[in-house]
């Protein structure tokens, strides 16, 4: 490792990762502070929860999970475009935070929002399909979070990468969940959908670009000999 790469490694380990970690905690700490203030438990900094605190916290946790999921998806294209391998240090942390916020979003929905009534939850699932989409996205995120460790990467080997491609199914589910939840608001879901389409298009372009040399080489090896090579006159034999 060169001196420059060592300094970059140290910056990511001791500066960038802690800063991103603290930034990811801000929405959760803001919600906790807002809850404590609105219930007059403690006078601490926090968000203003408005007239419906439970709904506000539910929406904030879900929106944060969606934002972190898209930031996780952006890491790989940024690494490929910049050549900065150190960006991968942030991907696992962002992905785990996305799962954590999605889980808190679900627990807030089951607990304070629906008061733990499974009868009401079943009615909601039947009445509003977008709730089922969010639940499906959370279930698909679970194996990705469980297998995010280095030990699981080594154990699963090639299957690990195939498993984590579920992220490209989870992302559309979350966008649909968010869009249907907003009902008549299209601007933000359209923005998320556009970013997702751009990410998928970039991924497809990279795959096509990577496979092009192999296809060209295979075509060249399978090409029949040219007419000029077949019509070349036989070499003259030397005199005895």
Residue 202 included in any domain: yes
User: Sorting pLDDT into bands at 50, 70 and 90, what band is 220?
Assistant: low
Count of the separate structural domains present in the chain? 1
Burial 98-134 (b: 16+ CB within 10 A, else e): bbbbbbbbbebbbeebbeeeeeebeebeeeeebbebb
Mean pLDDT score, 73-86: 90
- Predicted confidence at residue 29, as pLDDT, reads 93
Is residue 143 a part of any domain in this protein?
yes
Question: Which residue has 């997702």 as its token pair?
Answer: 196
The residue among 194 and 223 whose pLDDT is bigger is: 194
Confidence at 42, pLDDT banded by 50, 70, 90:
confident
| Domain ranges, residue 105 | 51-206
At 221 the pLDDT is 62
pLDDT score of 97 more than 90 = yes
Report pLDDT digits (tens) over 107-117. Answer: 999 998 888 88
pLDDT at 133 over 60: yes
15 inside domain = no
- Report the percentage of the chain scoring pLDDT > 70: 88
The mean per-residue pLDDT over the stretch 27-38 comes to 89
| 115 found inside a domain | yes
3-state SS, residue 84:
coil
* pLDDT-based confidence at residue 122 (cuts at 50, 70, 90): confident
Give the HSE-up count for residue 177: Cα atoms under 13 Å, Cβ half-sphere.
23
Amino acid 219: pLDDT: 55
- pLDDT(127) > 60: yes
What's the confidence (pLDDT) of residue 217?
55
Which has the minimum average pLDDT: 7-11, 17-21, 57-61, 218-222?
A: 218-222
**Overall average pLDDT of the 125-139 stretch:** 89
Position 227 scores a pLDDT of: 47
Asked if residue 216 belongs to a domain, the reply is no
In whole numbers, what is the pLDDT of the chain averaged over residues? Answer: 85
In-domain check, residue 75: yes
Q: Do the domain assignments include residue 139?
A: yes
Query: Over 80: is that where the pLDDT of 196 sits?
Result: yes
Within-domain flag for 148: yes
Helices (H), the chain: 3-11, 17-38, 53-82, 88-108, 118-127, 129-146, 150-156, 158-164, 167-182, 187-222, 227-230
* 145, 96 contact by CB (below 8 A): yes
Lowest mean pLDDT among 42-46, 163-167, 172-176: 42-46
């Amino acid at each position: 490792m060169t001196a420059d790469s060592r300094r970059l490694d140290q910056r990511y380990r001791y500066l960038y990762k802690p800063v991103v970690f603290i930034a990811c905690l801000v929405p959760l700490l803001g919600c906790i502070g807002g809850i404590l203030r609105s219930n007059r438990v403690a006078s601490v900094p926090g968000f203003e929860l408005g007239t419906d605190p439970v709904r506000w916290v539910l929406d904030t946790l879900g929106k944060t999970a969606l934002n972190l999921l898209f930031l996780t998806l952006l890491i790989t294209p940024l690494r490929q475009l910049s050549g900065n391998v150190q960006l991968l240090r942030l991907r696992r942390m962002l992905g785990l935070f996305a799962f954590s916020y999605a889980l808190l979003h679900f627990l807030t929905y089951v607990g304070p929002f629906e008061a733990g009534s499974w009868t009401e939850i079943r009615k909601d699932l039947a009445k509003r399909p977008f709730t089922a989409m969010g639940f499906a996205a959370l279930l698909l995120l679970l194996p990705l979070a469980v297998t995010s460790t280095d030990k699981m990467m080594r154990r699963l080997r090639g299957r690990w990468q195939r498993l984590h491609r579920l992220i490209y199914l989870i992302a559309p589910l979350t966008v649909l969940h968010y869009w249907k939840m907003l009902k008549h608001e299209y601007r933000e879901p359209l923005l998320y959908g556009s970013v997702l389409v751009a990410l998928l298009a970039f991924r497809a372009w990279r795959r096509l670009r990577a496979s092009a040399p192999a296809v060209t080489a295979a075509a060249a090896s399978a090409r029949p000999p040219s007419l000029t090579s077949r019509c070349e006159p036989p070499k003259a034999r030397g005199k005895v």
